[in-house]
Each structure stands twice: as C-alpha cells, then as structure tokens.
Amino acid sequence: MFNLEVKTATGYEQDAVIDALKLAFGADPATRWVWPDPREYILHFSKFARAFGGKAFVNNTAHYVGNYSGVALWLPPNTEPDVDTLLSLLRNTTTEEVQNTVPGVFEKMGSFHPNEPHWYLPLLGVDPLYHGKGLGSILMNYSTKIFDNLNTLAYLESSNPRNIPFYKRHGFELLGTIEVNKFPPLFPMLRKPQSLS
C-alpha cells in the first residue's frame, strides 16, 4: 500500500492534486452534466477545480493522502470560490442550457451556506482505483478534528447522492435539496462542532 499520512499540498503539487480530482469526478452527476463530452470534461475540469477550490492552495488547506490517491480542498472561513472565473469558464465552454441554469444553482447554493464563519468543502475526491480503502475517511477525520478544536461549522454540497451516507458518518446533517431545471440535484450538508472526548 502507500503512506496514509495526510499531507498539505504545496504550490508545486497543485497539478497532481487537480489531476487526482479529475479522475475522481469523471462520473460525477453534476460535473458531467456540465461537460458530458469526455474530451470537453478533460479539457476544462482543471480550470473549474482551480476556480472552485483553488484558494485552498494559498491557504494551506489542500490535503492529500497516498500518491495523491485521495484529495480534499477546504476553504477556510470567509474564503469564497472564484465565482466570476467559474461563470466565465462556463460561458466559454458549455451549452446555452448550462449557462442559463448554473447561475440559479450558485444562487441556491449560496442560500444554504451558514451565516456564521464556516469551513467549506468545494471538492473531495478519491481515485476510483482506490475506492473503498478508507482514504476519504482519513481525509475527513483529519479536517473534522481541526474544526472541532476550533469549535467551527463545516459545510458542503454533495453532488452525488451516494456520498450522503459517507458525510453523515462524519457528522454532517442534510439540510435539503438544491434543484434547478435539469441540473442534477445537489445536497447541502452542515456539520456542527462536536465535543472532543
């Protein structure tokens, strides 16, 4: 196997982390609705991931295990995705239907974000070759311990309903469902700080 210690990605590791996410999100319902063509997905996913979660690299909150087999990009409180870059990318690389739908999705996502300071998880993924090995849990346990120590909320939107039980096991509660036109449903989830025993 490989080293399961959680490491923080440095600037020069950014490409490796993004490539791992590209593998992990290859069958993601929301991402592939935006870019159903495989070539378009491969061409544009990296820019999407950098705009959505890239601020984790400058905040030292991009983490990985193994040989980048599992990765997580967390945004600290008061740090937002680069929505302008996201919208520009979508405008230049997607269909009119996508362009007309996604701003409404972003608006609904924003309405579920807590008003209090919170950590936000734009992207967490595991290389499909290593599914079922516990890498996602290792990454999640690493971060949730920090949030509990800081007594801080954590928030995410699951883009795949199959991942909801995983997040629930790590203390997240389902807040509702985000549905806009034909965009695959997103599932906003909130984790309150838990007492350390």
Tens-digit pLDDT profile for the chain (197 aa)?
566 899 999 889 999 999 999 999 999 999 999 999 999 999 999 999 999 999 999 999 999 998 999 999 999 999 999 999 999 999 999 999 999 999 999 999 999 999 999 999 999 999 999 999 999 999 999 999 999 999 999 999 999 999 999 999 999 999 999 999 999 999 999 999 997 65
- Cβ atoms of 168 and 174 within 8 Å: the answer is yes
- Spatial CB neighbours of 86, under 8 Å, sequence gap ≥ 6: 48, 51, 52, 106
Tell me, yes or no, whether 105 lies in a domain: yes
Tell me, yes or no, whether 46 lies in a domain: yes
pLDDT at 197: 54
Residue 48: closest CA among 13, 71, 10, 82: 82
Tell me, yes or no, whether 197 lies in a domain: no
Tell me, yes or no, whether 1 lies in a domain: no
Instruction: Indicate the helix (H) or strand (E) that contains 194.
Output: none
Tell me, yes or no, whether 166 lies in a domain: yes
Tell me how far apart the alpha carbons of residues 66 and 37 are, in angstroms, rounded to a whole number.
30
pLDDT at 195: 78
Tell me, yes or no, whether 2 lies in a domain: no
Tell me, yes or no, whether 81 lies in a domain: yes
Local structure of residue 133 (DSSP, 8 states): S
Residue-number span of the structural domain to which 183 is assigned: 7-191
> What is the count of structural domains for the chain?
1
Specify the CATH number for the domain of residue 179.
3.40.630.30
Tell me, yes or no, whether 196 lies in a domain: no
pLDDT at 3: 67
pLDDT at 162: 94
Pull the structure tokens for residue 22: 């590209």
Local structure of residue 12 (DSSP, 8 states): G
pLDDT at 4: 86
